[in-house]
Chains A and B, each alone.
Chain A
């Protein structure tokens, strides 16, 4: 028999449900996990926001037996906490939030920790433009006016920036016995016009420095994914590539997935990832119409 999805969202100290905010200590696992229902826990900084909305919007259409719990590591009223503190110790506040969600039961843990490191490196054109050759797709165009930099150096730089996120993923992998899925970050938006129109916090930088060429942003995204996949292979997590229908033939985000900012997917994109996730969890799902 089908059952509606139950959604719980946790923000460190606070827990949000559809019915409102309740204190953390009021969260009784039995309220979440009904017998026979799979409990799926998602932990992220921002990329799972659309996935949660997709879950909420499709409660009627969802023919699944699942309870979702989301732990967002950024959000309303939250300071941008570092993932690591002191001598590379994972931030205790984050550990506590994750432990809260995982302490009783978890049948599938899916993660999107940070995930915008490639945009840190090159969404905005660097004052000294750079470019590199992607070894898997060496024929992608290069900006002739840029410095050519070694691919492996770019990759190592991304790995260095990504290290705190990988540390947290490693910690969470060790925390549960269930499968751990690490979701690939959405592909880059190919449209400079769209990015210019919705630059988010990059407005000032983009005005002064411009937007990196789409080909470079694509290569950086692919390299970011390579770093993440290698980390997953090492720690025993499963790297989940973006759904193929969210990419155009050149590997960029399809237009119907564009968000009104430059680095995330929209609710339609969230539905595609949710579908992919449920397939991975062995849960049937027929999404209906998407409300943006």
Chain B
């Protein structure tokens, strides 16, 4: 007797592809539509899980494309506090495809949200669309305006010059402005601003909306960067809270399901768009939950390492850890030490002159 399953490869069978494979060796990727060369400029954006991807790309010799770098004067700790180089530009976490689409539109002046700035009691200003980008907000309107202008220029350069865009879809739940639909990364009032039910509205995007936003974004991006290649992933990190009147676990499953279906739909709808199953690697039952931390939410380094091992295996044929280890912190310290030495000598000379 014969049947269609008989000719399927091992990867099609759970027992052969998952149950009988060492957890660390589970590899759900079959083929990829393109490879990443060391010269390809790889840009990243997305939810917090995307930060791990960016980190690994940087540390493995990829041409991790950063268009909004921290100034070399700043020590590493300062760069992290001010959210530099977590992603290609300093846009912070982009959780929803609506936010991504609007970032493009805002960077090119096609959309200017009416809710433009949040003023704090101490006079500082919070960017509603990057509310945690600076620890204490912006210290003046001019600083905010100039920084945002510099940021948009960096976003435009990223979009126009990147070769590969890696985007991690994170959430479907979102708060938007009732006035013009501007999508916030965080609910107003959480990290700045004031929540106002007359101005702010909760939405939970469905598959059609997520897919449409993602397709619209890719189409806009292709207009200015026709050779663009895209890698989509879905964040395995569960929701921290849900606004839906249901259990957060149920909302998480819904949200991730929508994102996963949308990603699949987009891959089939556009050329040169790949899906990479980081979600499956982290949440798959083969790992017995050990890729999640104690809170059952944050992803462990072991899990990220598994994801990126598989990523590198399929999307590249190179790994160059030596290329990525330029210690910018050391560079900053060296420059300041050199200047301090000159000052020290000058102060000594000043003293010599005076005594």
Contact = CB atoms under 8 A, between A and B. Distances in A.
A8 B134 CA distance: 49
B147 A74 contact: no
A133 interface: yes
Contacts of B353: 49
A263 interface: yes
Contacts of A93: none
Given A9-B355, A128-B71, A157-B74, A200 B141 contact: no
15 contacts: A16-B355, A45-B351, A46-B347, A74-B348, A75-B348, A76-B351, A80-B348, A121-B73, A135-B139, A139-B142, A150-B138, A150-B139, A156-B81, A160-B75, A161-B336
Nearest to A81: B344
Contacts, number: 132
B216 interface: no
In this complex, the member of B140, B146, B346 whose beta carbon has the largest number of chain A beta carbons within 10 angstroms is: B346
B321 interface: no
A202 B78 contact: no
A52 interface: yes
A202 B346 contact: yes
Contact of A133 (B140, B336, B340): B140
Nearest to B78: A153
Interface stretch (A61-69, A141-149, A236-244, A284-292): A141-149
Given A153-B78, A161-B336, A119 B343 contact: yes
B342 interface: yes
A228 B146 CA distance: 27
B346 A150 contact: no
B11 interface: no
Nearest to A78: B348
A264 interface: yes
A49 B354 contact: yes
A138 interface: yes
Interface in B301-355: 335-336, 339-355
B253 interface: no
A50 B347 CA distance: 12
Contact of A128 (B72, B139, B143): B72
B105 interface: no
Contacts of A148: 143, 146-147, 150
B205 interface: no
B43 to A, nearest CB: 20
Nearest to B142: A138
* Interface size bracket, B side: 35 or more
Interface of A: 9, 11, 16, 45-46, 49-50, 52-53, 72, 74-76, 78, 80, 114, 116, 119-121, 123-124, 126, 128, 130, 132-133, 135, 138-139, 142, 147-153, 156-157, 160-161, 200-202, 205, 259, 261, 263-264
B118 interface: no
Q: Could you tell me the dominant secondary structure of chain B's interface residues?
A: helix
Contacts of B9: none
B279 interface: no
Given A133-B143, A148-B147, A205 B342 contact: yes
A78 B349 CA distance: 11
A123 B346 CA distance: 13
A133 B344 CA distance: 28
Contacts of B72: 126, 128
Contacts of A202: 342, 346
Nearest to A51: B354
Contact of A76 (B136, B140, B339, B352): B352
A53 B350 CA distance: 12
Contacts of B140: 133, 135, 138, 151
B135 interface: yes
A72 B350 CA distance: 11
A133 B75 contact: no
Nearest to A270: B354
B82 interface: yes
Given A201-B342, A205-B339, 13 more contacts: A46-B348, A74-B351, A121-B339, A130-B71, A130-B73, A133-B142, A133-B146, A150-B134, A156-B78, A161-B336, A201-B346, A261-B346, A263-B347
Interface in B34-83: 71-75, 78, 81-82
Interface in B83-142: 123, 134-136, 138-142
A149 B343 CA distance: 24
A133 B143 CA distance: 6
A202 B150 CA distance: 31
Nearest to A53: B354
Given A49-B351, A205-B342, A147 B71 contact: yes
B344 to A, nearest CB: 4
A157 B75 CA distance: 8
Given A138-B142, A147-B71, A124 B351 contact: no
Contacts of A149: 71, 73-74
A201 B345 contact: yes
B188 to A, nearest CB: 23
A115 to B, nearest CB: 9
Nearest to B136: A152
Given A72-B355, A133-B146, A160-B75, A263 B346 contact: yes
Contacts of B345: 80, 201
A153 B134 CA distance: 9
Contacts of B340: 120, 161
Given A133-B139, A135-B139, A75 B351 contact: yes
